[in-house]
């Protein structure tokens, strides 16, 4: 696992639990420390493996650079330097047709810069937001569709092959004219500082400083109006949240102060709050192979979370405690034998 810190340091961890104990500490395999000649000068905001090969990874920082690293040598293979702070970046998890990295930028001229790893140059710019762009995410379903979230309360979907601007600007009111004019064509009533596609790419989740999370149909931009209640969000920069993959119900994991809230994606039900960090949680990521969640906080710790296979169910009629399979481990399919 890759992690980036506010001190500019990048650390690689071995996630395997060789001790086979329920509580264990992951070992750091190697790091790009303060003494490394190419270390980031300021906070690392995003790290990401190259989607098709772990021999390469990328990092971006408040030092106005996006760096491409060779994992084996821990040396930079390429460095993109910009005039503004890089709030976040993302590479498409599915694309085999392009090697574009989308980087989001800030206050002087809000824009998304597309950097081509094959040519080593910045290919083109997406403009349309009025304030800094805090989050970007490629669709896991379509090679050229990109979502952007901004402090201007707007979320835009782009086809990066088109020069004529964005495809859709998400509207929380779904185009109803009766709503206030100032909130027309806005996704939130505050800064939008996080977005995440569902694993199938059919829906898009957004979070904002209005303490709301919204679920959108990614093909037509419709607000599905799922109510998650208050989702506390006072982050001044991008908030990285995640969704499950491979579970019978899809869950969304959202940093919520010093805890992580787990909701069912399509019903909005709050399942539980994960407590373990001592300070605010900035990011979390789901690992589908292990069915594990990892969270990073301002307490300088990264925690790994595993759902228990079985959880106790109190029964009023019997003094003994039964167990039922945790919902995250339920099969999403049934065989014809079971049906018969």
Region 209-221: mean pLDDT is: 97
pLDDT value at position 335? 47
What residues pair up with 311 in beta bridges, in sequence order?
324
Smallest CA-to-CA distance from 46 within 85, 95, 83, 16 is with 85
Distance in angstroms (rounded) separating the CA atoms of residues 234 and 159: 31
Counting residues of the chain whose pLDDT is more than 70, the rounded percentage is 88
Distance in angstroms (rounded) separating the CA atoms of residues 4 and 42: 11
Distance in angstroms (rounded) separating the CA atoms of residues 174 and 13: 44
Lowest mean pLDDT among 90-104, 191-205, 295-309, 321-335: 321-335
Distance in angstroms (rounded) separating the CA atoms of residues 146 and 197: 10
pLDDT value at position 249? 84
Is residue 322 pLDDT above 70, yes or no?
no
pLDDT value at position 334? 45
- Phi and psi at residue 328, in whole multiples of 5°? -70, -15
pLDDT value at position 339? 47
Smallest CA-to-CA distance from 210 within 258, 260, 172 is with 172
pLDDT digits 0-9 by tens, 42-56: 999 999 999 988 999
Lowest mean pLDDT among 9-23, 95-109, 287-301: 95-109
Distance in angstroms (rounded) separating the CA atoms of residues 84 and 86: 6
* Average pLDDT value for the chain: 88
pLDDT value at position 292? 92
Q: DSSP 3-state assignment of 70?
A: strand
Q: DSSP 3-state assignment of 183?
A: helix
pLDDT value at position 195? 96
Smallest CA-to-CA distance from 135 within 94, 107, 104 is with 104
Region 125-138: mean pLDDT is: 91
pLDDT value at position 107? 60
Place 320 in a pLDDT band, splitting at 50, 70 and 90: very low
Region 129-153: mean pLDDT is: 94
Region 148-152: mean pLDDT is: 94
Count Cβ atoms below 10 Å from residue 320 Cβ, excluding itself.
5
Q: DSSP 3-state assignment of 94?
A: coil
Lowest mean pLDDT among 99-108, 162-171, 307-316: 307-316
Region 19-30: mean pLDDT is: 88
Region 293-300: mean pLDDT is: 95
pLDDT digits 0-9 by tens, 53-111: 899 999 999 999 999 999 999 999 999 999 888 999 999 998 888 889 999 877 667 88
Lowest mean pLDDT among 24-33, 151-160, 174-183, 197-206: 174-183
Distance in angstroms (rounded) separating the CA atoms of residues 124 and 114: 6
pLDDT value at position 182? 64
20 or 141, higher pLDDT: 141
pLDDT value at position 118? 87
Is residue 316 pLDDT above 70, yes or no?
no
* Beta-strand pair 27-32/44-49: unpaired
In the chain, how long is the greatest CA-to-CA distance? 69
Count Cβ atoms below 10 Å from residue 298 Cβ, excluding itself.
13
Tell how far CA 319 is from the center of its chain: 43
Q: Which pTM does this prediction carry?
A: 0.88
pLDDT digits 0-9 by tens, 105-122: 776 678 899 999 888 888
What residues pair up with 184 in beta bridges, in sequence order?
none
Q: DSSP 3-state assignment of 327?
A: helix
CA angle 169, 175, 176 (to 5 degrees): 155
């Amino acid at each position: 696992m890759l992690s980036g810190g506010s001190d500019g340091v990048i650390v690689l961890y071995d996630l395997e639990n060789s001790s086979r104990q329920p509580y264990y500490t992951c070992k750091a395999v190697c790091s790009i420390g303060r003494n490394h000649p190419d270390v980031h000068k300021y906070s690392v905001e995003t790290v990401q493996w190259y989607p098709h090969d772990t021999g390469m990874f990328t990092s971006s920082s408040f030092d106005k650079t996006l760096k491409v690293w060779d994992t084996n040598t821990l040396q930079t293979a390429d460095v993109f330097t910009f005039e503004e702070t890089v709030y976040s970046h993302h590479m498409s998890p599915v694309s085999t047709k392009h090697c574009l990295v989308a980087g989001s930028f800030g206050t002087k001229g809000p824009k998304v810069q597309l950097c081509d790893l094959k040519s080593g140059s910045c290919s083109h710019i997406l403009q349309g937001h009025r304030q800094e762009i805090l989050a970007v995410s490629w669709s896991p379903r379509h090679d050229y569709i990109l979502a952007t979230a901004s402090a201007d309360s707007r979320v835009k979907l782009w086809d990066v092959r088109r020069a004529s601007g964005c495809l859709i600007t998400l509207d929380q009111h779904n185009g109803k004219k009766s709503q206030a004019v100032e909130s027309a064509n806005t996704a939130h009533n505050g800064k939008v500082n996080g977005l995440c596609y569902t694993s199938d790419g059919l829906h898009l989740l957004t979070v904002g400083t209005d303490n709301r999370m919204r679920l959108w149909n990614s093909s037509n931009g419709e607000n599905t109006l799922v109510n998650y209640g208050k989702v506390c969000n006072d982050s001044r920069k991008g908030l990285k949240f995640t969704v499950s993959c491979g579970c019978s119900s899809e869950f969304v994991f959202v940093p919520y102060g010093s805890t992580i809230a787990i909701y069912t994606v399509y019903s909005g039900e709050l399942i539980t709050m994960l407590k373990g960090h001592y300070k605010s949680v900035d990011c979390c990521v789901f690992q589908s192979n292990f069915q594990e969640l990892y969270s990073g906080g301002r307490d300088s710790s990264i925690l790994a979370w595993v759902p228990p296979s079985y959880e106790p169910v109190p029964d009023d009629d019997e003094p003994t405690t039964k167990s039922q399979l945790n919902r995250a481990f339920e099969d999403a399919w049934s065989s014809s034998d079971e049906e018969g």
